[in-house]
Structure 1
Amino acid sequence: MARRRLSHQGTLALDSEGLSKLLADDEQVVALIAEARSRGMEVVISALTIIEAIHARTNKSRLNWVPSGLRVVPIGDEEARAASQLLMNAGLHGHKHAIDAAVAEAALRQHRPVVMLTSDVDDMAKLCGDRIRLVAV
């Protein structure tokens, strides 16, 4: 399988699917993260991504270990307001897209260039515009 190339330096952000695939030791995601780290990119997730990525079959020991190798970006009042503004600007509803908006907002605050591994390229493009490079996983 051909590997996708990431930008030099900057930040690699994972949405819930990116984290889920990392937890599952997905070959493509593990390779993209290794490449990002070799280029000096920081790998981050939103604190809310941990909640969204959990399901009944999640390996709990990996869930406890994997985020320790990532920077977990907190979401507070100010960040929630900024995420709400992203939703309004994109014409999306918080009921369905609240966590996506928080993930997008966290990614937008990171050192650029920012690349995001996501399964939801369409909605993330609406939320992030062209400020983040989206890579489908």
Structure 2
Amino acid sequence: MKEQPARSLVLDSEALSLLLRSDRRMAARVEVSRQAGVPVLVSALTIVEAVHGKTDPARLKWVLSRLRVEPVSQEDSLSAVELLQDAGGPHGHKYAIEALVAALALRVPGPVIVLTSDRDDWSKLCGKRVIIRDV
């Protein structure tokens, strides 16, 4: 059975970091999605996680202008709590951020592709409800 085309693309912190570092492969993946009319989404929390002291502020603003930055809502927080509980209760800031980004991925139009370096964590949080692609 052929996979349905994605309706949303979500970037995790490593995917955003690659984009900020001008990784050509990541830039091409994002551009293909944009040209196909697929929104490229990033959580506001992902920005905080991906940016470091050497990030060029002008580059950051330009990259973000080409993405759809999604806020974190109370509903996302409650969904993230459920995702963590369903996954067996991992905790800590690393899991909290991933669970909040997962809540975003689960609330946007699907099918959703998630570009991540943490395939295992995403599988635990979302199962087969998202399409996981390695960065």
| TM-score by shorter chain over 0.5 | yes
Which amino acid in 2 is paired with 1:29?
A: M
| Mapped pair 1:41 → 2:38 | yes
Whole-Å Cα distance in 1 between the matches of residues 106 and 45 of structure 2?
15
Q: TM-score under structure 1 normalisation?
A: 0.90
> Offset at 1:50?
0.5
Question: Which secondary structure state, in structure 2, belongs to the residue aligned with residue 45 of structure 1?
Answer: strand
Q: Is the 8 A contact 1:87 1:127 kept in 2?
A: yes
Q: Which runs of 5+ in 2 are unaligned?
A: none
Range with greater deviation from structure 2 (92-101 or 104-113):
92-101
1:133 aligns with 131
Residue in structure 2 matched with residue 57 of structure 1 by the alignment: 54
Q: Is the aligned partner of 1:87 residue 2:84?
A: yes
Q: CA deviation at 1:7?
A: 5.7
Equivalent residues of 1:8, 1:41 under 8 A apart: no
Instruction: Name which of structure 1's ranges 41-50 and 64-73 shifts more when overlaid on structure 2.
Output: 64-73
CA contact (8 A) 2:6 2:113 kept: no
- Rounded to whole Å, the distance in 2 between the matches of 1:106 and 1:118 is 14
Kindly provide the amino acid, as one letter, of the partner of residue 101 in structure 1: A
One-letter amino acid matched to 1:73: E
The 5-angstrom pairing of residues 82-121 of structure 1 reads 82-95=79-92, 96-121=94-119
1:70-122: CA deviations, max 9, x gaps? Answer: 11111121210111110110114231300000011101111111001101000
The question of whether the paired residues in 2 share the 8 Å contact of 1:33 and 1:43 is answered with yes
Tell me the secondary structure at the aligned position of residue 132 of structure 2: strand
**Unaligned runs of at least 5 residues, structure 1:** 1-5
User: How many residue pairs get matched?
Assistant: 132
Give the alignment's Cα RMSD to 1 decimal.
1.5
**Identity across aligned pairs (percent)?**
46
Runs of 4+ aligned residues of structure 1 deviating over 2 Å after TM superposition are 6-9
Q: Which amino acid aligns with 2:28?
A: A
